Amino acid sequence: MKLTVNGTEVNIESEADTPLLWVLRDELDLVGTKYGCGMAQCGACTVHLAGQPIRSCVTPVSAAEGKAVETIEGQTDAAGLSAVQRAWLETDVAQCGYCQSGQIMVATALLKKNPAPTDQQIDTAMAGNVCRCGTYPRIRKAVHLAAKLIATEALV
Amino acid sequence: MSHSSMTAGLSRRQFVQAGGALLFAAECPITFASKANAAGGGAMMNSFVRIDPSNVITMLANHSEFGNGAYTVMTMMLAEELDVDYRAIQVEAAPTSPDYYSPLFREYLTAGSVTTGSTWLPMRTAGAKARAMLIDAAAQDWGVAQAELSTEAGMVHHLATKRQISYGQLIDSIHRLKIMPPETVSLKDPSEFKVLGKPTKRYEGAAKVDGSAQFGIDLKLPGMLHGAIARPPVHGGRVVSFDATAALKMPGVVKVKAIGAGVVVLAKSYWQAQKARGELNITWDRGDNDGVSSEQFYSDYRALAEQPGILAEDIGDALGALSGADRVIESVYEMPLLAHATLEPLNCIAQVSENACTIWSGTQYQSNDQEVISRFLGIPQEHVTVHRPLMGGSFGRRSSKTADFTVEAVEAAMGESVPVKIIWSREEDIRSGHYRPLFVHKMRGSLDASGMPDAWHQVAVGQSLMQGSKHDPAYMVRGIDIYSLDGCLQEPFGVFPYGTSYQIPHHRVESHNAPRVGIVPQEWRSVGHTHTGIAYECFLDELADAGEIDPLELRLRLTKDHARMNRVLRVLREKSQWDEPLGAGRGRGMASRIYSVSPIAQAVEISVADNGDFTIDRVVCVLDCGFAVNPLGIEGQVEGGIAFGLGGAAFGNIDIVNGEVQQSNFHDYPVIRMPQMPKVEVHILPSDEPPTGVGEQATAPIAPAVANALFNATGRRVRRFPLSSQGFKLV
């Protein structure tokens, strides 16, 4: 089976029913995507599949065949961190940091759809992502900052 | 090792290290509060700093990072005195040896919100001593007076001759000139601080936004096998027999074997192991806990609470005052079992050879893991090597006294030629974990003529955390676990050098250690306060209501002789606009606690709908944590502590029926999510006192503050938790 992960085509040997999460982590060594619950309850495993945020812990790898998979590792390019990642760093969001890959992937998808979300829209979009350290207030701030960074950089 | 040999030996012995690098010793007594003295006092003689000739500066961290900010505050302290950028310091986990044990706990343990306070002098001293040696070397090399030299950004400067040299380049000179660490060194005055006290971003923050941070679950060793364990349905159950025929036919499966924790499937990948586990056919002996239930705990504990317990404190004559009172207010508070649910599930990699063992484990408690494993394998403790990755949350769970999640990995790895990694599924974490013990507090109180509390009688019942453990001597007083009553006693107790901050004339507190059955009790962020905070602060609110005194005014009066808490409360009154009325359907509540020395108080505003759905509109938190080492980190810990306590109070509940935990994952063990997270305003009071903890403090007052606000808004008092079980749903 062939997958396109962060722009690179890769051959997959895992069984077809293996969740995409474990293929990324155990076969491709892309361990930035995290296991938290295994039943789409916590959002730690969020990646983009064909541009949409999905829970990779309940998505069999076969469902990703031929589609573009984007993970946290793909958010940083030659130019450096993405606007969302920079906003996260600037806001000092992370505590333990375990959930933040998933949070950043969901926030990135949100801002593509809605470039200037309100607090309430942020809350709704991110309600599926658990942070046990309680960094929620800073996540809200960071999403607003990322929206500003993206808007400003689009003008340049 | 005796204190004297530690004091005399280390700096000399560790002075010259192989490879030309230097370890600078911090010879410095610990003066943090009286916990240290109570625990035996003494000096910590660790080596924290290594500078190598290529100018890499390494800090050996003897405290763990699990979101608490340990690496940030420790590098800040070192950077301040050494005059380097804190982010230029490499952090390396200090070896698990007695040289690096916490001076407070006398073990390698990160817990109790004491990291900042207990490293405050050692880390700064280590930096200052290293700097003094570098200055000494440069002065001798250049033939100038030490006083003419300055340091900045990892360089020594001689301004008069415009000479400069990097720290690394001075290492050879230090060897050649045989420069020894000075016996004493003066630390910077706070007025000179460039880093300490300034809002400072997380040391390892960058690795936590690009996916590169390495948690234990992320580590992969050559040839490693992955293990998934089928665990007994009841705590303490054992495997009688198992049939692995089907499991062994599954792809990637290498081996299936019974271990103490259950039946482990070893496979080439975790998913293969987890999937094959579902094919096992196991016969269990359900063991002694088969009949245990949460409801039985409640009814047994309520009955115990009617009996006299072990007397912890008896100020005045509470029993006499209550029997003579016109009106006695009585309540029983009940708090359930709670799971920690760290987002990174528990995991451990172990490799076992004939006479040695290595583990890679996200653990708060390295020395205990080492000790338990050495006992289990029958090998010397120093033959157990502990590698420590970052941890995806801990909240107390990773300070396991039984070393459950490490020793089982060791057992799974026994007889294997490769390392074995065990990962717990979320279901295992919720069902087979350790828990905040269930507690019942029976409260009685009476008022004086002015309506103020006159007599207080409290009986606490629950499983002790420390009873029978190796911590028993330090944390048990006359058979009383001091955590079971933390924040309930007016006077300092055992190694806890603080009381409630309140003064009630007649104050009697008793404790029962409930039988140790059904579960393993474990510290949960803010420990005793998770239940004592609710019982004490909600009942105080009941007395305030009975006496028709505003609850904040009541606490101001009770703390009139406790300057630090009184100041916190005065600021809370102002910052929360406490005295401004709220509209219909809204309510306000507050609570104040002292945990591990730091006074903290919170006021919350809520809105409640007719159906019991409620929102928290605002939390105002005021705290006095001594000198605020990193205000940005403190604010984050306060927000996080509130989130953790709030989720627990709102919906946290582990329910046991017939010995089996009924919950299994985040759908039936809900935790707080973004829409439920209130706005939090944090006010850190300026202080020149030594720094004290913040990691757990904010968890303590939030549950009672919210329950008190619900009463304020609705007139309904919640006495059994979580709030969701009483018709109040946080939305």
Residues A59 and A89 in one domain: no
Span B503-524, pLDDT tens digits: 999 999 999 999 999 999 999 9
Number of domains observed in the structure of chain A: 2
Is residue A71 domain-shared with residue A88, that is, in the same domain? Answer: no
In this structure, the answer to whether residues A18 and A68 fall within a common structural domain is: yes
Instruction: Compute the C-alpha angle A91/A140/B626, nearest 5°.
Output: 55
Same-domain pairing of A104 and A39: no
- CB contact, 8 Å: A6 with chain B? no
pLDDT 10s digits, B371-398: 999 999 999 999 999 999 999 999 999 9
Bridge partners for B285 per DSSP: B238
Q: What percent of chain A has pLDDT over 90?
A: 96
Please list every residue in chain B whose beta carbon sits closer than 8 Å to the beta carbon of residue A88: 209
Q: How many other C-beta atoms lie within 10 A of the C-beta of residue A118?
A: 10
* Domain edge (last residue) among A75, A110, A139: A75
Task: Give CA–CA dist B206/A88, Å, rounded.
Answer: 9
Chain B contact set for A94 (CB, 8 A): 67, 202, 205, 208-209
What pLDDT, on the 0 to 100 scale, is given for residue B307?
98
Residues A22, B271: C-beta atoms closer than 8 Å: yes
Collapsing DSSP to helix, strand or coil, B540 comes out as: helix
Q: Could you identify the residue written with the tokens 């001759």?
A: B161
B258 vs B56: which has the higher pLDDT: B258
Shared-domain flag, residues A113 and A132: yes
Output the domain CATH number for residue A129. Answer: 1.10.150.120
Mean pLDDT of B693-705: 96
Task: Say whether both A30 and A93 belong to one domain.
Answer: no
For the record, the structure tokens of A48 come out as: 């983009």
* B122 neighbors B381 (Cβ within 8 angstroms): no
Measured CA to CA, the distance from residue B82 to residue B48 in angstroms comes to 12
Find tokens 């295994």 and name the residue: A38
Cβ-defined contact of A34 to B643 (cutoff 8 Å): no
Query: What mean pLDDT comes out for the span A9-34?
Result: 97
Check whether residue A123 and residue A98 sit in a common domain: yes
d(CA B294, CA B661): 9
Q: What is the pLDDT of residues B185-226, one digit of tens each?
A: 999 999 999 999 999 999 999 999 999 999 999 999 999 999
Chain B residue with minimal CA distance to A21? B271
Q: Do A31 and B392 lie within an 8 Å CB cutoff?
A: no
- Are A42 and A34 in contact by the 8 Å Cβ rule? The answer is no
Nearest CB to B392; choose among A88, A96, A126: A96
Answer yes or no: do A56 and A96 share one domain.
Answer: no
Dist. CA A45–CA B35, nearest whole Å:
42
B475-489 per-position pLDDT tens digit = 999 999 999 999 999
CA dist A87 and A81 (Å) reads 10
Average pLDDT for B587-605: 95
Q: Tell me, what CATH number does A65's domain have? A: 3.10.20.30
The packing angle between helices B366-377 and B404-413, to 10°, is: 40
Share of chain B above pLDDT 70, in %: 94
Domains of chain B in start order, with CATH, are 3-198 (3.30.365.10), 216-287+346-423 (3.30.365.10), 294-337+435-730 (3.30.365.10)
A66 and A93 both lie in a single domain: no
Last residue of a domain, one of A44, A75, A106: A75
Q: Which of B615, B616, B674, B679 to mutate to test the interface with A (most CBs of A within 10 A)?
A: B674
Pick B672's closest partner by Cβ from A14, A37, A134. A134
Smallest CA–CA separation between A19 and chain B, in Å? 8
Q: Is the dihedral of CA B352, B357, B359, B365 positive or negative?
A: positive
Q: Can you give the pLDDT at residue B181?
A: 85
Residue B12 above 50 pLDDT?
A: no
**B294 — phi, psi (to 5°)?**
-60, -40
| A10 Cβ under 8 Å from any chain B Cβ | no
Helices (H), B550-676: 551-558, 563-575, 631-651
Nearest to A32 among B212, B342, B425 (CB): B212
Co-location of A89 and A34 in the same domain? no
Q: Report the candidate in B321, B712, B707 with the shortest Cα–Cα distance to residue B504.
A: B321
pLDDT at B696 over 60: yes
| Percent composition of chain B: helix, strand, coil (DSSP 3-state, to 5) | 35, 25, 40
Tell me: the pLDDT tens digits for B412-465? 999 999 999 999 999 999 999 999 999 999 999 999 999 999 999 999 999 999
Contact criterion met (CB below 8 Å) for A108 and A46: no
Residue B141 pLDDT more than 70? yes
How far is the C-alpha of B100 from the C-alpha of A13, rounded, in Å? 45
**What integer pLDDT is reported at residue B180 of this predicted model?**
86
CB atoms inside a 10 Å sphere around CB B250: 19
Which residues in chain A have their CB less than 8 angstroms from residue B639's CB? Answer: 134-138
Structural domain that includes position A124:
83-155
Q: What is the pLDDT of residue B1?
A: 27
Q: Enumerate the residues of chain A whose CB falls inside 8 A of the CB of residue B270.
A: 22, 25-26
Percent of chain B surpassing pLDDT 90 = 88
Nearest to B83 by CA among B132, B34, B21: B132
Q: Are residues A112 and A150 in the same domain?
A: yes
Q: Measured between alpha carbons, how far is B345 from B430 in angstroms, rounded to an integer?
A: 10
